[in-house]
Structure 1
């Protein structure tokens, strides 16, 4: 399996397995930037949530059920993407996605109904 297998893996995935990809390196950089941003603040001013790189949200507070519901299951929310419950970046608001699908299904059923 040696060299030929490694070459096939590089050809198939664009890089060898085992090493971090560009996405992982960017994410680590964003985490480091967010933590550094918080540590540069006075201790009493640290909130452990905000944005880094101008628009990427970060959240390092202990997750709560309320925050989980707000970000992962909020059918009435206006956004499909919301900040992670914990970490850097975004998560899908599954509640909003389900609500949009239900709305689309209901609309298609109304169109099929006889007048």
Structure 2
């Protein structure tokens, strides 16, 4: 009888490998964002922008206003936008709910 190789969480090693890859890419992008900011003259650093002109980063201290705008903004143009803090994207749940309500006619 053949058993799947499992890690301690009960998941297959393939899933663990993908998780490690995503973590590695996230760490690399975060390092790239910090390096980009540190190479910018101090007076011009914003601590937010894009890495490789594609992946957004936000390294400023999170604010309630920014969190609300990015996580619950039904009037936003897009469903997916920059994270409140970190590297990558997040889903604007307010926009998702607004779209569902619009489709449902509510």
TM-score (normalised: structure 2): 0.85
CA RMSD of aligned residues (A): 2.3
CA gap of 1:92–1:16, structure 2 versus 1, over 3 A, is: closer
CA displacement, residues 8-67 of structure 1 (integer Å, 9 cap, x when unaligned):
2179231668xx611111000000000000000111111000000221000011111111
- SS of structure 2 residue aligned to 1:14: helix
Higher helix share: 1
Cα distance in structure 1, aligned partners of 2:35 and 2:75:
34
Q: Is residue 99 of structure 2 the alignment partner of residue 103 of structure 1? A: no
Aligned length: 101
Aligned partners of 1:9, 1:80: CA distance in 2, in Å? 36
Aligned to 1:69: 68
3-state secondary structure, aligned to 2:35? helix
Structure 1 residue runs of 4 or more that deviate by more than 3 Å after TM superposition: none
* Greater alpha carbon shift after TM alignment, 20-29 vs 45-54: 20-29
Q: Name which one, 1 or 2, has greater alpha-carbon Rg.
A: 1
Distance 1:80 1:15 in 2: 27
Normalised by the length of structure 1, the TM-score is 0.78
Q: Unpaired runs of 5+ in structure 1? A: 108-115
